[in-house]
Amino acid sequence: MNITEIKSKRAGDSYYKINHPSGLTVYVYPKEGYNSAYAIFGTRYGSINTCFSVDNGETITVPDGIAHYLEHKLFESEDGDAFVRYAKTGANANAYTSFEKTCYLFSCTDKFDESLEILLDFVQDPYFTAQTVAKEQGIIGQEIKMYDDSPDWRVMFNMLEAMYKNHPVRIDIAGTVESIAQITAEKLYDIYNVFYNLNNMVLCVSGNVTVEQVLKTADKMLKPSEKHKIHNYFEDEPYEICEPYVEQSFPVSMPIFNFGFKEKADSLLDEKQTAQTEILLSMIASQTSTLYRNLMDANLINSSFSYELFEGPGYCSVIFGGESRAPKQAAEMIKQYISKIKKEGLDKNDFETAKKAVYGDIVSSLNSVDSIANTIADYHFNGNELFSYIDAIAETTFDDVCKRLNEMLDVNNCTLSVVKQLENEE
* pLDDT tens for each residue of 129-174: 998 888 888 888 888 888 889 999 999 999 999 999 999 999 999 9
pLDDT at res. 212: 97
Annotated active-site residue 143? The verdict is no
Q: What is the pLDDT of residue 79?
A: 76
**What pLDDT was estimated at residue 78?**
79
CB-CB contact of 20 with 218 (8 Å)? yes
Check whether domain 2-232 has CATH 3.40.50.880, yes or no: no
How is 349-413 classified by DSSP, letter by letter? Answer: HHHHHHHHHHHHHHHHGGG-HHHHHHHHHHHHHHT--HHHHHHHHHH--HHHHHHHHHHS--TTS
- Domain limits, the chain: 2-232, 245-425
Q: Which residues, at least 6 apart from 419, have a Cβ–Cβ distance to it below 8 Å?
A: 151, 154, 155, 158, 247, 248, 249, 250, 252, 255, 256, 257
* Dist CA 92 CA 105 (whole Å): 8
Once rounded to an integer, what is the mean pLDDT over residues 104-116?
Answer: 97
pLDDT of amino acid 287: 96
Sorting pLDDT into bands at 50, 70 and 90, what band is 422? confident
Query: What phi, psi does 206 have (nearest 5°)?
Result: -145, 160
Model-level pTM?
A: 0.94
pLDDT tier for residue 420 given thresholds of 50, 70 and 90: very high
For residue 114, the 8-state DSSP code is H
Cα(173)–Cα(96) distance, integer angstroms: 10
Residue 424 is predicted with a pLDDT of: 61
> What's at 350, amino acid-wise?
D
For range 58-81, the mean pLDDT: 92
Nearby residues of 52 by Cβ (< 8 Å), 6 or more positions away: 59, 60, 194, 230, 231, 232, 233
Q: Report pLDDT digits (tens) over 275-331.
A: 999 999 999 999 999 999 999 999 999 999 999 999 999 999 999 999 999 999 999
Please check whether the two domains, 2-232 and 245-425, share a CATH topology.
yes
Q: Which of 5, 32, 58, 71 is catalytic?
A: 71
Is residue 178 classed as helix, strand or coil in its secondary structure? helix
- Whether domain 245-425 has CATH 3.40.720.10: no
pLDDT at 15: 97
Averaged pLDDT score across all residues of the chain: 95
